[in-house]
Structure 1
Amino acid sequence: MFEVFKKELRELLRDKKTLIFIVALPVLIFPLLFGVMAFMSSQAALEAEQKVHTYAIINGHYAQEFTDKVFYHKSFELYKGEQTFTSVEDLTAAVKAGTIDMGIYLPTDAKKALDEAKQSKWEVVYNDAKAINFLFDRVSELANDFGNKLQQQKLLSFGISEEQQAAVLNPIEVVKVDTADKRENLGEKIGGFIPYLLIPLVLMGATYPAIDLGAGEKERGTLETLLLTPITRTQLVLGKFVTLLAASIATTTITVLSMGVWISIAITFIDLAVIKTAFSSLKVIDLALIFILLLPIAAIFSSLALAISIYARSFKEAQNYMTPLTMGVIFPIIIALLPNVELTAKTAFVPVTNVALAIKEIIKGTIDYTLLGLIFLATVIVAGALLAFCVKWFNKEEVLFR
């Protein structure tokens, strides 16, 4: 078995593509993904903040103070074209045609409506399907400010002071006392995406070499030569399995170390107090726990990938079979991202999902070590069962020589 392991490992190390998938990609994947995500988010936010939207307002003189605020707002520019608008239908047609981005219709004098104990209905016309949904929020904010001033003035005319108004209009102030620290808050928001990056990388570290160790041997005609050597088929398949496991563990190790290094760099150079406070409490022991959890996952992926590769007739067929495996791994990770899916005694026995949830809890700093032990035990049992199946699979003539 050890001789087979040395042979296969030597061949993998000679393959530059394997080194790229096992070493280079895990090192670069985190800065690349986070860098691209941060750049795209900042650019989108900057464009949305700086973009000026054309608007038209009907009956703006009924609420001149509000009209002036919209006019001088940095996000809005008054329509200066020749087209005139007299109704909501006109504004709707103009928005659909792209003449304006937004239309505001004021049907009556807000002050007069208040005197008559009526509510003034203002209508904002815009395309909610586009990525400009903040238009309604900004106009609503300006309208609410104007409405609050009208309200304040009316109550003052009744002899109700500002202090009395606050007590009457908001008799109860609800104050939030958060029991979660910054690490737990941030971990809840982004912790679920870390396994979404880590686990597929571990799978990739096993699948790419597995294709060559099984289907590749068939295509080259070297599998028959291996079967003629004075070693049992069990020893042969275990040697290949250990090679895949080593490759997957190497990917796991490099990935976890890369994550730790790039988080340290981010804490040093990014001037965000929340991120620094949250991730500065992420210790080496936490990274070690993540690594330990990924080890049996690597064994599961290595067994599955090797079994698929042994079954495939050719390199191309093995690649086609690996696609459903990748999708099958992504699905339980997505389940772990769903709201209200938490790590419990039940979810601790769900393969892949349990590891994804555990990694999230480790990043949050709220991991239950009893459940952690159950997850490790359950994953090891699944890995052992799959390895036994792989050995049995390799001993079948109808599988090897399809």
Structure 2
Amino acid sequence: MFEVFLKELKELLRDRKTLIFVVALPVAIFPVIFALMGFLMSKAALEAEQKVHNYAIINAEYAPEFKDKLFFHKNFKLVEGDFKTVEELKQAVKDEVIDVGIVIPSDARDALENGSSNEWQIVFNDASSLSFIFTRIKEMAEEFSQTLQSEQFNKLGIAKEHQESLLNPVVLEKVDTADLRENLGEKLGALIPYLLIPLVLAGASYPAIDLGAGEKERGTLETLLLTPIPRTELVLGKFFTVLFTSLATALITVASMGVWMKLASSFFDVEKITDAFSMLGFMDFALILLLLIPLASVFSSLVLAISIYARSFKEAQNYMGPLSMLAFLPLIVAMMPNMELSMSTAMVPITNVALAIKEIIKGTVDYSYVGMIFIATAVLAGVLMAACVHWFKKEEVLFR
């Protein structure tokens, strides 16, 4: 078995595609992709922040404070036009003459004296990327509302220092019992398994395809079967090769992301992320790795069995797509709100590991659940490994 493992590992290391997939992608390409995505998102946000939007306003004279604030705002430009109705503003937005239209009622001030509020209409395309316009206008409208409130309080003879307490008679102060690590872990903890677990599967997929379907295409499988090595040992040798590359991909990626994050901290503000990971000790990383080993064994058994069954490299690749989708579903479940590690979720494959990693990062993990998850995943891996060995012994599977 060990000789088979070394043979397969040497062959994989000689393959440039494998080296690119297992080493180059985690070290360089993945971080570059994430950095590029971050750059494009920040650039899009900056462009949106600096973009000037055309607007038209009806009955502006009834809210002069709001009109002036909007007129002098850096992101808005007034479009002169004889707009009288909401329908005309709608058509102007559709014709892209303006980006937003505002209708102020003529009783903007008088309504308050009659004990009622007035309704302003904001006309814009909410399906477009301009949806944040409403938020900006709402902020300015709220400032005008405070002006109206102050006017009414002054008419009632209420001193300015008492107005705030009447508007906000109850102020809530949040006293958080969670420490910094738990807070940051709750926000970031769900993302780590979402990155790690697919990498474990991806690190197993390509080598497995090459060791099974690839050998069929090259015609080397028959030669390997003629050697005086039991088929069980042949499968286990291939299995441990796939397991090794699976874990290596995940570990190299984590190490690479750590190095890149360290470099990025010199140029960008990622203090919160680095603070969260600096709180993790050696035991925490060891527990995460301990949970990934049986999960990687599960994935390795599955992809190797699929590769052995497939007639060709291309057919094996076609099977890997649905498997990847099935692996993502439990991860999505783990990211759902209020999803916590419990006796029931500890028995759900993949979801249990994702939730346990999240709890480890938060520092609130129950070690009894970790042991339970490790045993349950290891048992599942053993069953799948045995099925893979049985699969490999069938001539109708090997020579389809």
Which TM-score tier does this pair reach, normalised by the shorter chain?
A: over 0.9
Aligned residues: 400
Which residue number corresponds to residue 285 of structure 1?
Answer: 283
Unaligned runs of 5+ in 2: none
The answer to whether the 8 A contact 1:210-1:302 is kept is yes
Contact 1:182 1:274 in 2 (8 A): no
Shift of 1:114: 2.2
1:129 to 127, 130, 133: 127
Q: Deviation of residue 29 (structure 1)?
A: 4.9
Match of residue 53 from structure 2:
53
Using the TM superposition, give the Cα deviation of residue 132 of structure 1 relative to its aligned residue in structure 2, in angstroms: 1.8
The answer to whether residue 343 in structure 2 is matched with residue 312 in structure 1 is no
Distance 1:161 1:378 in 2: 68
Displacement of 1:46 in angstroms is 0.6
After superposition, where does 1:245-260 map in structure 2 within 5 Å?
A: 245-260=243-258
Q: Report the Cα distance in structure 2 between the residues aligned to 1:273 and 1:261, rounded to whole angstroms.
A: 14
Q: Distance in 1 between matches of 2:351 and 2:151?
A: 58
Contact 1:70-1:76 within 8 A present in 2 as well: yes
Spell out, residue by residue over 1:323-377, the C-alpha distance to the aligned partner (whole angstroms, 9 max, x if none). Answer: 1111111111111112122211211111111111122222223222221111111
Q: Given the alignment, which residue of 335, 338, 357 partners 1:337? A: 335
CA contact (8 A) 1:103 1:126 kept: yes
Shift of 1:383: 0.7
Match of 2:63, SS state, is helix
Q: Is the Cα–Cα contact under 8 Å of residues 30 and 258 in structure 1 kept in the other structure?
A: no
- Is the alpha carbon distance of 1:275 and 1:251 closer, same or farther for their aligned partners in structure 2, counting shifts above 3 Å? closer
Contact 1:195 1:356 in 2 (8 A): yes
Normalised TM-score (structure 1): 0.94
Q: Give the direction of change, closer, same or farther, for the CA distance of 1:289–1:29 in structure 2 (3 Å limit).
A: farther
Residue 95 (structure 2) aligned to one of 66, 87, 97: 97
Corresponding residue SS for 1:110: coil
**1:203 counterpart residue number:** 201
For 1:338 and 1:399, locate their aligned partners in 2 and report how far apart those are by CA, in whole Å: 40
Letter in 1 for 2:200: V
| SS of aligned partner of 2:122 | strand
Residue 236 of structure 1: SS of its match in structure 2? helix
The 5-angstrom pairing of residues 221-260 of structure 1 reads 221-260=219-258
Q: CA deviation at 1:251?
A: 1.5
Partner letter of residue 43 of structure 2?
Q
Shift of 1:198: 1.4
| Counterpart residue number, 1:71 | 71
1:118 positional shift? 3.1
TM-score using structure 2 length: 0.95
The Cα offsets for residues 232-290 of structure 1, whole Å up to 9 and x where unpaired, read as 11111111111111221222321232233334434454335433433332333333322
Instruction: Find the residue that maps to 1:290 and give its secondary structure.
Output: helix
The percentage of aligned residue pairs carrying the same residue is 62
CA distance 1:38–1:324, shift in 2 (3 Å) = same
Partner of 1:9: 9
d(CA) in 2 for partners of 1:239, 1:401 = 20
Bigger drift between 109-118 and 306-315 goes to: 109-118
Of 201, 207, 212, 1:214 maps to 212
- With 315-324 and 251-260 compared, the bigger mean Cα shift is at 251-260
Alpha carbons of 1:207 and 1:336: their partners in 2 closer, same or farther (altered >3 Å)? same
Alpha-carbon spacing, 1:27–1:336, altered in 2? closer, same or farther (3 Å): same
Q: In structure 2, what is the equivalent of residue 182 of structure 1? A: 180
Q: RMSD across aligned C-alpha pairs, in angstroms?
A: 1.8
Structure 1's unaligned 5+ residue stretches are none
Does the C-alpha gap of structure 1 residues 288 and 321 become closer, same or farther in structure 2, counting only changes over 3 Å?
Answer: same
Distance in 2 (alpha carbons) for counterparts of 1:273 and 1:221: 54
Q: C-alpha distance in 1, partners of 2:29/2:381?
A: 27
- 1:151-166 to 2 correspondence within 5 Å? 151-166=149-164
